[in-house]
């Protein structure tokens, strides 16, 4: 790992440089409210962000650095490039120009240095008028552009600016004459104020910065100490490479990123160790009875991937501790049958199985296929969803408690208090990303250390799977069942809808079925076409001779079931729907999907929706209706859909666009887990950190010692540790 070695040459800076003898020493645990430059109000703002102590403040890292040693002279600005300029406000100062009502005022200012003058424009910048008076020194950071209105003049639009003290910069200046760290402002506390506060903390620091990272790891990768790293990231030496800093690749930053991953992975590793010490239910897998049952249920020849994954699951079920396995596979890759095979093993061993799905439609579909597939075995399966009739519900609950129910399929209803299993041996969670961590936990607690299988059609890149579910073992179905023809995806504008409907008619004449999807149920002010109104129109005027049905989330359960049933039996040829069909719905004869307002859907969602077709051997078509002139992210999404149907590629793309937090529809993971490490950018470090953490966890005493060290120094870490350990 040579590239991460810390080049210590010439960087031997000691804290004494920051240690004027007169000031009072500050410890890591000193509350921020006692720091110089932090009054009660700022302290409150900081505390809201979780920054309570001097130590927390030091852990608040700059997100960018500016070279303020070598400023660019205004005369030497190059249009199209980003520069840092030191200048003063020219005579006349700046002025605000207001336009008609409703348009934001624009603040204009001209600044100059010895070489020339530069014009800057700020949208919403009226507040600057008071600050940018003639003679005021400022640093501007932004892209230089040729002024479209005045040839030859260069301007910056919305540059980042910082006011600078007047006169010559003192030698310990935090503002110029060095590589300057830029912090994200916290409430009203600007980057500049944060820099001053942090600088003064370092100045008065008592020098005691414990380093919880195990010595041998630090040596192996030649990481700087925590203390060196902190000094370095807040005030890098003059000769540091700006690009390394700005890509988060300086040795100090690498160490800090590594450290964040390492502790998180250590929590996961310890969690897994303790899982493995837990007594689970050892299932017998190799008996003839079990093999027979498995053979009886298989409706088709499993793919090699399905076989491999089942073997992994069966291996887990035989172990004396509970399985915790994540089963990943793109939409349509055939996860359901694998889950039912696992269920079969467990039921043959005399235990009950719970299968939880995120929507009622999906739960009833699973229930139907379970009954069909498990039919030959004579197992007793039941369905539990929230809208059921009381008597029905009572009798299901009674059967589950007595143990008569061998497979219970349902929605969130499964984790309600009233549900009591007699011998729960396996909990399966389908489309796991739709559930919160706690919901998963509550299902597991319905049994005494049952085996756990979670399934997801969101193909999480391996790196992220390690971050988020690092305590789970990972199985991947990376192969589609045979005989699938790729789906053809097209981007069409609304003007061409007549042709689209004609195409739908032709496909239906060949015996196929179609989905037509809308983003909303009812007409709204947003002028989006709504499922209900469009259903009426399509049924009456566009497809008067065809059988058209409507499905949306506000229908009653029986109505939903009835509509889905009729569609499944091809009694309905066209299903007009909202995103209720997003997950899991499986009707192989449906080969066309028209998605109106496709630009209104997220990428992962479009991919999931498209996964409803292309499930049989007939060629399928996905038609995305969206204006031709859309731009930006929306355009990217549609283009990604047209170019690839590979779920992993789509997931990577989506992740880049939205970031992990939103990607998972939950901010409790990803985002909150790390303050500056980024799993995508830093995946190599993540893998190394994971390896080291899992190796360390094998030595319990040593691992516990590290945890104790961490807990004593960082309350924030305790929170993260907790998060990781309920994952």
| Binding site residues, ligand ADP, CB under 6 A | 300-303, 306, 329, 331-337, 457, 481, 584, 586, 588, 615
Q: Which of residues 435-464 bind Mg ion (CB under 5 A)?
A: none
CA distance 432 to 109: 54
Binding partner at 300 among ligand ADP, Mg ion, none, C-beta below 5 to 8 Å by kind: ligand ADP
Q: How far apart are CA 426 and CA 325, in angstroms?
A: 11
What is the closest distance, in whole angstroms, from the C-beta atom of residue 455 to Mg ion in the complex?
A: 7
Site for Mg ion in 542-601 (CB under 5 A): 584
CA distance 436 to 669: 10
How far apart CA 379 and CA 377 sit, in angstroms, is: 6
Closest CB to Mg ion among 290 and 313?
Answer: 313
Torsion over CA: 380, 383, 388, 390 (sign):
positive
Distance of closest approach, residue 308 Cβ to ligand ADP, in angstroms: 12
Q: Name the residue nearer to ligand ADP (CB basis): 443 or 480.
A: 480
Residues linked to residue 513 through DSSP beta bridges, in sequence order: 590
User: The tokens of 74 are what?
Assistant: 């205004």
SS3 355: strand
From the list 726, 679, 671, 696, the residue with the least C-alpha distance to 263 is 696
- Closest approach of Mg ion to the CB of residue 356, in Å: 13
Per the document, the length of the chain is: 727
Query: By CB under 5 A, what part of segment 164-223 binds Mg ion?
Result: none
Q: How far is the CB of 287 from Mg ion (least distance, A)?
A: 29
In the complex with Mg ion, which residue's Cβ is closer, 125 or 332? Answer: 332
Report what 405 binds from Mg ion, ligand ADP, none; CB cut-off 5-8 Å by kind.
none
Cβ at position 615, least distance to ligand ADP in Å: 5
Provide the minimum distance between the beta carbon of 587 and Mg ion in the complex, in angstroms, as a whole number: 13
CB of 616 to ligand ADP, least distance (A): 8
Contact of 428 with 343, CB cutoff 8 Å: yes
Q: In the bound complex, what is the minimum distance in angstroms from residue 328's beta carbon to ligand ADP?
A: 10
Spatial neighbors of 246 by CB under 8 A, at least 6 apart, are 64, 65
Residue nearest to ligand ADP (CB): 334
Output the smallest distance, CB 457 to Mg ion, in A: 6
Instruction: Tell me how many degrees the CA angle 249-254-256 measures, rounded to the nearest 5.
Output: 135
Minimum distance from CB of 637 to ligand ADP (Å)? Answer: 21
Binding partner of 302, given ligand ADP, Mg ion, none, CB within 5-8 angstroms per partner class: ligand ADP
The three-state secondary structure class of 138 is strand
Q: b/e map of 50-67 (b: 16 or more CB within 10 Å)? A: ebbbbbbbbbbbbebbbb
Closer to ligand ADP by Cβ: residue 233 or 340:
340
- φ, ψ for residue 156, nearest 5 deg: -125, 135
For residues 308 and 334, the answer to whether their CB atoms sit within 8 Å is no
Residue 361 CA to residue 124 CA, distance in Å, equals 48
Write down the least CB distance from residue 369 to Mg ion, Å: 10
CB 199, CB 174: distance < 8 Å: yes
**Binding site partner of 85, from Mg ion, ligand ADP, none, Cβ cut-off 5-8 A by kind:** none
Residue 322 contact, options Mg ion, ligand ADP, none, Cβ 5-8 Å cut-off depending on partner type: none
Contact partner, 549, from Mg ion, ligand ADP, none, Cβ < 5-8 Å per class: none
CA distances from 338 to 204, 306, 343 (A): 61, 7, 9
Positive or negative torsion for Cα 673, 677, 681, 685: negative
CB of 430 to Mg ion, least distance (A): 6
In the bound state with Mg ion, the residue whose beta carbon lies nearer, of 470 and 584, is 584
**Least distance in Å: CB of 332 to ligand ADP?**
5
Taking each helix axis as running N to C, give the angle between helix 603-610 and helix 632-643, from 0 to 180 degrees, rounded to the nearest 10. Answer: 30
Q: Which is nearer to ligand ADP, 457 or 592 (CB)?
A: 457
Cβ neighbours around 445 below 10 Å, total: 13
Q: Which two tokens stand for residue 415?
A: 């984790």
Please state, in angstroms and as integers, the Cα–Cα distance from residue 593 to each residue in 368, 569, 612, following that order.
24, 18, 8
Using the minimum distance from each CB to ligand ADP, give the nearer residue, 267 or 326. Answer: 326
Whose Cβ is closer to ligand ADP: residue 553's or residue 616's? 616
> In the complex with ligand ADP, which residue's Cβ is closer, 328 or 692?
328
Mask for 367-406, x = binds Mg ion (CB under 5 A): ----------------------------------------
Instruction: Please list, in sequence order, all residues whose beta carbon lies within 8 angstroms of the beta carbon of residue 313, skipping any fewer than 6 positions away.
Output: 323, 325, 327, 338, 341, 342, 453, 475
Shortest gap between Cβ of 327 and ligand ADP (angstroms)? 9
> 236 or 584, CB closer to Mg ion?
584
| 200 or 432: CB nearest Mg ion | 432
Q: Which is nearer to ligand ADP, 353 or 550 (CB)?
A: 353
Q: Which is nearer to Mg ion, 32 or 361 (CB)?
A: 361
Phi/psi of residue 40, nearest 5 degrees: -60, -40
Q: Which residue is nearest to Mg ion (CB)?
A: 584
Pick one of Mg ion, ligand ADP, none as the site partner of residue 333 (Cβ within 5 to 8 A by kind): ligand ADP
Do 594 and 623 form a contact (C-beta atoms < 8 A)? Answer: yes
Verify binding: residue 62, Mg ion, rule CB under 5 A. Answer: no
Q: Are 724 and 697 in contact (CB under 8 A)?
A: no
The site partner of 329 among ligand ADP, Mg ion, none (C-beta below 5 to 8 Å per kind) is ligand ADP
Rule CB under 5 A: which of 263-322 touch Mg ion? Answer: none
Bridge partners, 66 (sequence order): 180
Q: Which does 74 bind (CB under 5 to 8 A by kind): ligand ADP, Mg ion, none?
A: none
Q: Which does 182 bind (CB under 5 to 8 A by kind): ligand ADP, Mg ion, none?
A: none
Q: Looking at beta carbons only, is 55 or 459 nearer to ligand ADP?
A: 459
Beta carbons of 293 and 344 less than 8 angstroms apart: yes
Partner from Mg ion, ligand ADP, none binding residue 615, C-beta < 5-8 Å depending on class? ligand ADP
> Interface with Mg ion by CB under 5 A: which residues?
584
């Amino acid at each position: 790992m040579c590239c991460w070695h810390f080049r210590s040459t010439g960087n031997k800076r000691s804290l004494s440089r920051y240690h004027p003898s007169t000031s009072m020493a500050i410890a890591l645990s000193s509350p921020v409210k006692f720091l110089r430059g932090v009054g009660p109000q700022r302290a409150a703002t900081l505390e809201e962000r979780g920054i309570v102590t001097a130590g927390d403040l030091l852990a608040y890292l700059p997100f960018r650095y500016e070279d303020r040693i070598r400023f660019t002279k205004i005369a030497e600005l190059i249009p199209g490039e980003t520069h840092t300029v030191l200048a003063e406000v020219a005579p006349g100062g700046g002025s605000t120009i207001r336009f008609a009502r409703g348009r934001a005022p624009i603040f204009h200012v001209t600044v100059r240095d010895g070489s020339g003058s530069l014009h800057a424009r700020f949208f919403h910048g009226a507040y600057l008028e008071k600050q940018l008076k003639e003679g005021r020194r400022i640093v501007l950071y932004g892209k230089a552009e040729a002024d479209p209105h005045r040839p030859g003049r260069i301007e910056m639009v919305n540059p980042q600016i910082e006011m600078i003290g007047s006169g010559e910069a003192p030698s310990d200046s935090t503002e110029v004459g060095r590589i300057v760290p830029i912090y994200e402002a916290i409430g009203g506390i600007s980057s500049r104020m944060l820099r001053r506060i942090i600088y003064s903390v370092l100045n008065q620091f008592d020098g005691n910065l414990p380093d919880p990272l195990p010595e041998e790891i630090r040596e192996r990768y030649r990481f700087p100490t925590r203390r060196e790293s902190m000094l370095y990231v807040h005030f890098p030496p003059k000769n540091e490479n700006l690009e390394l800093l700005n890509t988060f690749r300086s040795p100090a930053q690498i160490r800090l990123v590594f450290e964040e991953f390492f502790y998180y992975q250590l929590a996961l590793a310890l969690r897994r160790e303790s899982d493995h010490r837990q007594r689970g239910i050892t299932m017998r897998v190799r008996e003839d009875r079990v093999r027979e049952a498995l053979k009886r249920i298989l409706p088709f020849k499993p793919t090699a991937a399905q076989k491999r994954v089942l073997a992994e699951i069966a291996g887990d079920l035989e172990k004396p501790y509970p399985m915790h396995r994540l089963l990943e596979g793109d939409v349509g890759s055939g996860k359901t049958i694998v889950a039912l095979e696992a269920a079969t093993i467990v039921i043959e061993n005399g235990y009950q199985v719970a299968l939880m799905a995120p929507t009622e439609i999906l739960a009833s579909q699973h229930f139907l296929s379970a009954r069909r597939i498990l039919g030959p075995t004579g197992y007793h399966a039941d369905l539990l969803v929230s809208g059921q009739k009381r008597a029905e519900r009572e009798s299901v609950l009674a059967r589950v408690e007595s143990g008569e129910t061998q497979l219970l399929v349902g929605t969130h209803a499964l984790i309600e208090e009233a549900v009591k299993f007699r011998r729960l041996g396996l909990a399966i969670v389908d489309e796991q990303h739709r559930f919160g961590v706690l919901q998963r936990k509550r299902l597991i607690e319905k049994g005494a250390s049952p085996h756990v299988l979670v399934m997801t059609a969101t193909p999480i890149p391996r790196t992220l799977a390690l971050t988020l579910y690092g305590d789970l073992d990972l199985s991947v179905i990376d192969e589609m069942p045979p005989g699938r023809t790729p789906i053809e995806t097209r981007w069409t504008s609304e003007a061409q809808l007549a042709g689209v409907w004609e195409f739908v008619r032709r496909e239906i004449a060949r015996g196929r079925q179609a989905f037509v999807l809308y983003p909303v149920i009812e007409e709204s002010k947003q002028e989006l076409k709504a499922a209900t109104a469009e259903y009426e129109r399509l049924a009456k005027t566009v497809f008067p001779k065809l059988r058209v049905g409507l499905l949306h989330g506000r229908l009653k359960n029986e109505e939903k079931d009835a509509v889905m049933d009729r569609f499944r039996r091809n009694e309905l040829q066209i299903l007009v729907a909202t995103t209720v069909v997003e997950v899991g719905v499986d009707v192989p004869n449906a080969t066309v999907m028209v998605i109106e307002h496709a630009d209104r859907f997220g990428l992962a969602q479009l991919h999931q929706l498209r996964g409803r077709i292309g499930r049989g051997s007939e060629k399928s078509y996905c038609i995305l209706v969206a204006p031709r002139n859309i731009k930006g992210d929306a355009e990217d999404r549609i283009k990604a859909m047209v170019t690839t149907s590979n779920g992993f590629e789509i997931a990577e793309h989506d992740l880049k666009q939205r970031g992990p937090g939103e990607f998972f529809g939950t901010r409790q993971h990803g985002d909150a887990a790390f303050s500056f490490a980024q799993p995508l950018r830093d995946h190599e470090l993540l893998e190394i950190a994971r390896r080291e953490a899992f190796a360390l966890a094998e030595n319990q005493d040593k691992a516990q010692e590290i945890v104790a060290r961490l807990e004593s120094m960082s309350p924030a870490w305790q929170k993260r540790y907790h998060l990781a350990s309920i994952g």
